[in-house]
Amino acid sequence: MRVLMIGAGGVGAAAAKIAAEREFFDRWVVADYDLGRAEQAVREVAQRHTSIRSERFCAAQVDASDPDAVSALAREHGATHVLNAVDPRFVMPVFQGARAAGADYLDMAMSLSKRHDSQPYSLVGVKLGDEQFADAAAWEAEGRLALVGIGVEPGLSDIFARYAADHLFSEIEGLGTRDGANLAVHDDDGNEIFAPSFSIWTTIEECLNPPVVWEKGRGWFTTEPFSEPEVFEFPEGIGPVECVNVEHEEVLLMPRWLDAQRVTFKYGLGDEFIGVLKTLNTLGLDRTEKVRVGGVEVSPRDVVAACLPDPATIGPRMTGKTCAGLWVTGTGRDGQPRRTYLYHVADNEVSMAEYGAQCVVWQTALNPVVALELLAQGVWSGAGVLGPEAFDAVPFLDLLAAEKPKGYGAPWGLEDR
């Protein structure tokens, strides 16, 4: 296996460090528009993993918005798999470039949605992933695999859903992804500051778009942003966090392969974060269309992202844990009512110590690496545009949790409530 990874930001750099400990690939190319950032990611691999064959890694420059450039780089390095680790606005050119090069493809976020023109808070328009699923027949005909949404959310949450459907429940009423954390970032004086732990560009896209819900008999529909607030109790000391509806890929993926009455995604944002997002929306600073400032045209959202700390750099100033999980309700295999939370918790202190990566980006980066190893081993295989639900969950969860060096040493949990 020869992997071309597009993107050397927080998630991409973490993925390279995680992959460095594994032997399933021959080559891992770290590519970014900023060649210096790609080279830095490769240097960090060599510095942190002095005992491994770091010569398997190399850096390259690429424009992720240009499918021809992606395809040319994939061919140059003989890539068998293209891993997309850039913002979702670049999903389609990277997706198209991988197919043109005859490589399989993986991403952690799907093609962007477009809200309904006249009824955005009740009807769906273009859904997340629609552009990719439109090409599913072509990928399948060519015998190529596009494994979409294989980060943590989407990704691990979808694998939990497949596991619950196969092994825990006879009938599923609700599949509800629930994400919460007790993370805090501090300045040099110890004061807590506003510093999102993930790409603010992506966060704005998810949180200010109309959330999508799926119900059996009704299909997909939308609601108002931050709707249906609920307090959810997160494990391992995180505690209660108020979660609200947010647009997310799980709701667009799970119903394609799994039988459930209702599918939702709720994110624990907190009052301060919701207030900031609403203010950005009110001021038009969430817009991606460029505006002229003096003699320069800039995207307001890009300006916001440039003004905030890079999520890849805040790890040393961050404390706490983040939890990604799936709340499943329905009927257990014994015929009795069952309510189960399947989850994975990442501790920032641990991820920083072991990988030099803050916990949110590390937790996201971990899962596509596990998936690539299963594909390299032939344990997972397929053709077309497929979500994580299309694959057997047990090999993934076993490899994820097994102690190193056999596995990834990242155990997951299960609570019946």
Helix (H) or strand (E) holding 324: strand 321-332
Question: Per-residue pLDDT tens for 79-125?
Answer: 999 999 999 999 999 999 999 999 999 999 999 999 999 999 999 99
User: 230: which strand partners?
Assistant: 243
Model pLDDT for residues 295-345, shown as the tens digit of each residue: 888 888 888 888 887 777 887 888 999 999 999 999 999 999 999 999 999
If phi > 0 it is left, if psi is from -120 to 50 it is alpha, else beta; for residue 202 that is alpha
Choose among 388, 28, 67, 347: nearest CA to 183.
347
pLDDT band at 20 (very low <50, low <70, confident <90, very high): very high
As a whole number, the mean pLDDT across the chain is 94
Using 50, 70 and 90 to split pLDDT, how confident is the model at 51? low
| Token pair in block for residue 160 | 């939990």
CATH fold, domain 2-117+127-151+364-412, is Rossmann fold (3.40.50)
Tell me what the mean pLDDT of segment 263-267 comes to. 96
pLDDT tens digits, 351-360: 999 999 999 9
The strand ranges marked E within 143-260 are 145-147, 169-181, 184-186, 192-193, 212-215, 219-222, 230-234, 239-245
d(CA 246, CA 230): 13
Phi-psi region of 237 (alpha: psi -120 to 50; beta: other; left: phi over 0): left
Rounded to two decimals, the pTM is 0.93
pLDDT of residue 308: 81
pLDDT at 49 over 90: no
Q: Quick one: average pLDDT of 51-59?
A: 81
Q: How confident is the model at residue 50 (pLDDT cuts 50, 70, 90)?
A: low
167 Cβ contact list (under 8 Å, min separation 6): 333, 394
The pair of structure tokens assigned to 170 is 């006879």
Outline which parts of the chain fall under CATH 3.30.360.10: 156-360
What does the block give as tokens for 70? 């992606």
The span from the CA of 281 to the CA of 305, in Å, is 14
pLDDT of residue 52: 65
Q: What fold characterizes domain 156-360?
A: Dihydrodipicolinate Reductase; domain 2 (3.30.360)
What's residue 269's pLDDT? 82
Please tell me the distance from the alpha carbon of residue 252 to that of residue 157, in angstroms, as a whole number: 13
Provide the 10 A C-beta neighbour count for residue 188.
7
pLDDT for residue 33 is more than 70: yes
Residues of the chain with CATH 3.40.50.720: 2-117+127-151+364-412
The two beta strands, 384-386 and 321-332, are unpaired
DSSP 143-159: T-EEE---BTTTBHHHH
Which residues are within 8 A (CB) of 335 and not within 5 positions of it... i.e. 6 or more apart? 170
Check pLDDT > 70 for residue 44.
yes
pLDDT, position 126: 97
What is the pLDDT averaged over residues 405-410?
97
What is residue 48's predicted lDDT score, i.e. its pLDDT? 81
Q: SS3 breakdown of the chain: % helix, strand, coil, rounded to 5?
A: 40, 25, 35
Question: What pLDDT sits at residue 288?
Answer: 85
Instruction: Please say if the pLDDT value at position 14 is more than 80.
Output: yes
Average pLDDT of span 6-35 = 96
Kindly report, residue by residue over 139-172, the tens digit of the pLDDT: 999 999 999 999 999 999 999 999 999 999 999 9
Which of 58, 68, 67 has the alpha carbon at shortest distance from 4? Answer: 58
The single-letter DSSP state of residue 390 is: G
Check pLDDT > 80 for residue 53.
Answer: no
For tokens 């603010």, name the residue.
200
